């Protein structure tokens, strides 16, 4: 009987010890998972806006697609294809990366974020992650600041004997579906819909009208009256029934009171 009790006590002790070891092992795995999650979050932050990363991390499920009011900014380098044929690849990539880096900072400073780079162009969004009632003003200020920054960059390039870059920027505002799109292998936070398509078309119109920045009526109606705008002739664009009225954005009168 004593031996049986002793064996029972031994078995219980072994079981408790095993459970303690197992518990510690599980804790270590949980801690490792937590550290891995943080590392992934940091890495993913390089590929997606940090607010999106935070939301994905906060919810254990993907961010749900939502219809939102957004302002879309398209910027494209004019005549870059010809430039690309002249420059060595490494010089071309360095030139583009420096340009994109500068533009991304300007956009972030104005509460926008780059949704994607498309060749020598980029698409930026305002109001896509958090609602932003001031998104049209932010986007217009960003567009002006991008042109100023590009002028500074051109001066640097000229000092090194580099080529001058010219960018066309188009802005449109409207409703769009925002969400995370793609496959398991490649995901991106972006917006889709007619608003995006029209913004891209408006950027192409900068060449037609030979201006640096164009905004649609939907943007203009929301802008601070201190922005200086010139009307452009309504122009047919692919995929839109009516000719599109646009406005050339020239500047902002800081001193004028409304």
Partner 1 sequence: MSALDSIEWEACLLEPVPSPETERRVRRALGMVPPGSRYFLDSAWFADALIALDIGHLQLQHLRADLSEMVALVVSQDGACRYCFSATRGVLGIMGFSEARIQRLEGDLLAGELPAGDRAALQFARRVSRSVPPVRAADAAPLREAGWSAAAIQELTALTAVNVFFNRTSTLAALPYESIERFFARPTMRLLRPLLRRFIGPRRVSQPMPLSPAERQGAFAEQINAFDGVPLAKRLRAAIDACWCGSSLGPRTTALVFAVVARGIGCPLSEREATRLLRADGFPATEVEPALAHLASPSLDARQRAAATLARDSIWPQPAPLQRQARAVRAQFTRTEFIDLIGTAALANALCRLGVGVELARPHA
Helix boundaries (H) for 45-134: 50-58, 80-86, 89-109
- Residue 109 interacting with partner 1 (CB under 8 A): yes
Pairing of strands 167-182, 213-216: parallel
Give the single-character DSSP code of 47.
T
Give the single-character DSSP code of 242.
S
- Residue 50 interacting with partner 1 (CB under 8 A): yes
Contact set for partner 1, span 158-217 (CB under 8 A): none
Task: Output 220-223 pairs: Cβ under 8 A, ≥24 positions apart.
Answer: 220/247, 222/135, 222/136, 222/137, 222/173, 223/136, 223/137, 223/140
Q: Compute the least distance from the CB of residue 130 to partner 1, in Å.
A: 5
Q: How many residues bind partner 1 (CB under 8 A)?
A: 31
Whole-number Å distance between alpha carbons of 39 and 50 = 13
Nearer Cβ to partner 1 (68/172):
68
Nearer Cβ to partner 1 (55/166):
55
Q: Compute the least distance from the CB of residue 256 to partner 1, in Å.
A: 10
Q: Compute the least distance from the CB of residue 204 to partner 1, in Å.
A: 29
Give the single-character DSSP code of 88.
-
- Residue 234 interacting with partner 1 (CB under 8 A): no
Question: Binding marks (x or -) toward partner 1, 125..154, rule CB under 8 A?
Answer: -----xxxxx--x-----------------
Cα–Cα nearest to 76, from 201, 226, 161: 201
Where along the sequence are the contacts to partner 1 (CB under 8 A)?
A: 27, 30-31, 33-35, 37-38, 42, 50-51, 54, 57-58, 60, 66, 108-109, 111, 130-134, 137, 222, 224-226, 257-258
């Amino acid at each position: 009987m004593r031996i049986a009790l002793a064996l029972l006590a031994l078995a219980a002790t072994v079981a408790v010890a095993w459970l303690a070891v197992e518990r510690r092992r599980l804790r270590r795995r949980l801690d490792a998972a937590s550290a891995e999650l943080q590392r992934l979050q940091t890495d993913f932050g390089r590929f997606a806006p940090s607010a999106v990363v935070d939301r994905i991390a906060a919810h254990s499920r993907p961010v749900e697609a939502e219809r939102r009011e957004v302002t879309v900014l398209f910027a494209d380098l004019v005549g870059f294809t010809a430039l690309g044929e002249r420059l060595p690849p490494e010089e071309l990539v360095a030139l583009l990366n420096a340009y994109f880096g500068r533009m991304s900072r300007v956009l972030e400073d104005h509460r926008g974020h780059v949704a994607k780079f498309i060749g020598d162009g980029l698409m930026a969004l305002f109001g896509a992650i958090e609602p932003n009632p001031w998104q049209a003003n932010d986007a217009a200020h960003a567009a002006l600041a991008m042109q100023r920054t590009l002028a500074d960059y051109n001066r640097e390039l000229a000092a090194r004997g580099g080529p001058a870059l010219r960018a066309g920027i188009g802005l449109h505002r409207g409703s769009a579906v925002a969400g995370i799109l793609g496959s398991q292998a490649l995901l991106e936070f972006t917006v889709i819909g007619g608003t995006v398509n029209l913004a891209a078309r408006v950027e192409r119109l900068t060449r037609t009208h030979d201006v640096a920045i164009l905004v649609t009526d939907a943007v203009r109606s929301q802008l601070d009256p201190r922005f200086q705008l010139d009307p452009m002739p309504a122009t047919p664009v692919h995929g839109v029934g009516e000719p599109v009225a646009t406005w050339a954005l020239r500047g902002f009168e800081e001193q004028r009171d409304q």
